[in-house]
Amino acid sequence: LYTAPDSCEGRCGEPFSEEDECHCHTECERDHNCCEDHERHCGPDGFSSSRDSITDQELLELSEQLYGVDHNKARPSDVAINPQHRAGPDETGDKQDRSPQPLYKYVNEELFSKPTYASFIKLLDNYQRATGREEEVTAEELREQDRFLEEVMKTELMKKLFAFLQEKNRYGSEQEFVQDLKEMWFGLYSRGDGERDSSGFEHVFSGEVKKGKVSGFHNWIRFYLLEKQGVVNYFSHNFDGPWDTYPDVLGLQFSWDGFYKEVGSAFIGCSPEFEFGLYSLCFLARPGRACHLSLGGHRLSVQTYPWTKSTYGSGRRFIATAYVLSP
């Protein structure tokens, strides 16, 4: 269901990468490996001029800037975690609980009264986690989506992201950007047999259960709230990032009401707008591929995939998943 993008839209002149299934770099015609629409987008009269492509260096620089303006992130005194057992490669899949204590020792819940956190948390109970069951979206839930987007767009972080994307001719106005965020993240599509049972936001931040396994579920706030209720059981971690402040990155094993997640990577202690903004950037700049970033001087990568079975607008893709890669 997930494939690398087969289009040069927004990719003209980007560096060659073996990860790509087709190419848009300047020598692709000579190498006979261009995407089919290379001429349409990247030719002299193309839709996607090379000056609008997003370079690897720009991603490194912008991600550091976004990291620096995450003013709503947790301070070191706001969160205390207890990672306990570090699982080896042969242990992540065996469903053994090797950590008797919860992952979170303490979270300062005053964080959750900040507008972006409060509006984010309101969204988490809007979904049925089982795929194959149609999502019913009420007028109140639509208002909650709008409120969340309204609150994140007030932050310096999202304003900086929008300014960058506008400069790259991806969006002409903030209104256009917000409307596209709403579609790509909250637009419904079918992971099952035709029922509109899923969205990017539900999958990534709230989590789903598919074929008896946890699918998605990459958010630290969601994890903390469900662990506090006793419905999430932390088992172990297979990766703990090099950061000595927040946001940090963990790769973790856990069960949710008995359904298992073998590796659930997550940023720990970041604001909702940081995660939402970083994943949106990577989805727009490197859909279907590893998006290489830098946070606090440390390299990391985010993987996104577009949903390929349905589109919105003029052929735009919904987000299928987005997560930070843990080595």
Q: Are 116 and 96 in contact (CB under 8 A)?
A: no
Q: Give the dihedral sign, CA 123/154/161/183.
A: positive
Residues with catalytic function? 203, 218, 261
CB 12 within 8 A of CB 52: yes
Cα 119 from chain centroid (whole Å)? 18
Q: What single-letter DSSP state applies at residue 83? A: -
Please state, in angstroms and rounded to a whole number, the distance separating the CA atoms of residues 250 and 323: 11
The answer to whether 218 and 265 have CB atoms below 8 angstroms apart is yes
Cα distances (Å, whole numbers) of residue 107 to 79, 158, 221, 228, 267: 5, 25, 10, 10, 15
- Is 288 exposed, middle or buried (CB count within 10 Å of its CB: 0-12, 13-18, 19+)? buried
Q: Is residue 286 within 8 Å of 190, Cβ to Cβ?
A: no
Q: Which residue's structure tokens are 């975690």? A: 81
